[in-house]
Amino acid sequence: MKKYVMGFLVCLITCVMVLSSCGYSQLTNSPTTTSNMQVIGNTLVYDEYIYFANAYKDSATLSGTQNNTGNVGIESLYRVKTTKGAITYNTETNLPENVEKVLSKVVGSNNSFIYSIGEYIYFASPSTHKDINSNDTFTLNSYFRVKTDGTGLKEFYTSSTSITNQTILKIGNDYYLIMVDGTNLIKFKLGENIEAKTILASDFASAIFAKTFNTENDKFAYYTVQTKQGETVTGTYLKKVDIVTGEQTQINEPGQNDKTITLQSVFDGKLYFKMNESDSKNYYFKYETGTFSTRIAISPPVDNIEITSFNVLNQISSTTEEITTYYLYSTASKTFCLQSGNTSIDSSFDLINKASTILFTSGDYVYYSVASTGIYRISILDKIEQQISDNTNFLETKISFDGRYVYFYALNTDNTTGMYYMHRADTNNAELGQSCSVQLLGQLQTTDQPADEDE
């Protein structure tokens, strides 16, 4: 009998060890304050901990039960404990220490999303539900929240389409998850109890909202509704909806709807869009409040300029605290810039004289990537370019920024699997004129780990 009892105990201890290694042991020192990120991606930074999607997983490569809770390995939600922001590395393996798995669930993928409110982390993960034909639906998003110690996992919504436009806005003292799900603009009011979804608008051609809440006007989401004769689009109505109250307002009136409006962004309480004017030429505009006639053209005619992306930068003077707004227009070969108030192409200046992808703006810097070269930034003031990361194999998506570190997915030096792991690059090195410093945050597949030099 003793032999069987001992065998059971050994089995039990083994199970406990396995579960602990999979991230199901109770985590301690759980953060309860909201992580404050300047740019939202797949990383959250607290005082002592960095929470992150350890590796990127394309939802198209998932199958079967791979994303079921408990089945996910290296692509899970992890955290690393820091000391005054610094990560400790093993001197023999050069791998991070104090790394823990928080939740066995894919949190870094095509349409992933991660945000924190107090002790809760809200995230989107590829759906594990089946459709009516029992097919996988990994391209859809399921939305969850979990406590920072990995407990209390709760699913509260699964999308009906692939989600690419989503954010959480803090308006007043309340938090709202906003997303475009097909032709529905949806909100969830978040809190101890998550309220049922509210459809703010539907049957629109396009919809857009602020990524962060900075001013009172950022409480509005904007959407367009097309007018048609038969199957021919004859114009566009521009509307807005108050995210808090749900009140809808039509901005342009009949007689003003014979234009094609292409929404660009909502930034610091202003809507930016492209539209053809009465001279039949296309311009970029900004709109803040009031009637449609209060819109202001901010660009020269752009019909002969193939703009690939549009961005806004607000530069705050360190001496007067006055704000100067710059508009960034990217083409296939360069990014040129116009200061607010100037609409002539002769008043523009070339900021980046190469093909690049604008990642985000912060302060007087524009952060951008160049294929096969790395991540850079350039000041709108002195036009000096600084390299932030020299890792040439990285993803330009799901990038985060905490004011000092840029977080991104990249291949590590000894990579053999093609898996992209979360890294960070220190912008302080650029400030000090030092070489790039890129750090791995979490764990690697065994075959991707640095080779033992003694072998």
DSSP symbols for 101-125:
EEESS--SSTT-EEEEETTEEEEEE
Strands of the sheet with 120-126, listed across from one edge: 113-117, 120-126, 141-147, 154-158
Banded pLDDT at 9 (limits 50, 70, 90): very low
Task: Point out the least confidently predicted range of 22-31, 305-314, 325-334, 335-344.
Answer: 22-31
What are the tens digits of pLDDT across the range 281-333? Answer: 999 999 999 999 999 999 999 999 999 999 999 999 888 989 999 999 999 99
Confidence of residue 366 (pLDDT cuts 50, 70, 90): very high
Percent of the chain exceeding pLDDT 70 equals 94
Nearest to 103 by CA among 141, 68, 150: 150
Place of tokens 């991070």: 96
Name 445's Cβ contacts closer than 8 Å, sequence gap at least 6: 74, 417, 419
* Tokens representing residue 427 in the block: 């912008």
Give per-residue pLDDT as tens, 82-93.
Answer: 999 999 999 999
Q: Using 50, 70 and 90 to split pLDDT, how confident is the model at 23?
A: very low
Confidence of residue 19 (pLDDT cuts 50, 70, 90): very low
What is the average pLDDT score of the chain?
A: 92
Residue 96 to residue 52: CA distance in whole angstroms: 14
Task: List b or e across 262-275, with b for residues whose CB sees 16 or more CB atoms inside 10 angstroms.
Answer: bbbbbbebbbbbbb
Overall residue count recorded for the chain in this entry: 455
Strands 49-53 and 43-45: antiparallel
Can you list the alpha helix ranges (DSSP code H) found in 22-141? none
Q: In the structure encoding, which two tokens stand for residue 12, read together?
A: 């039990």
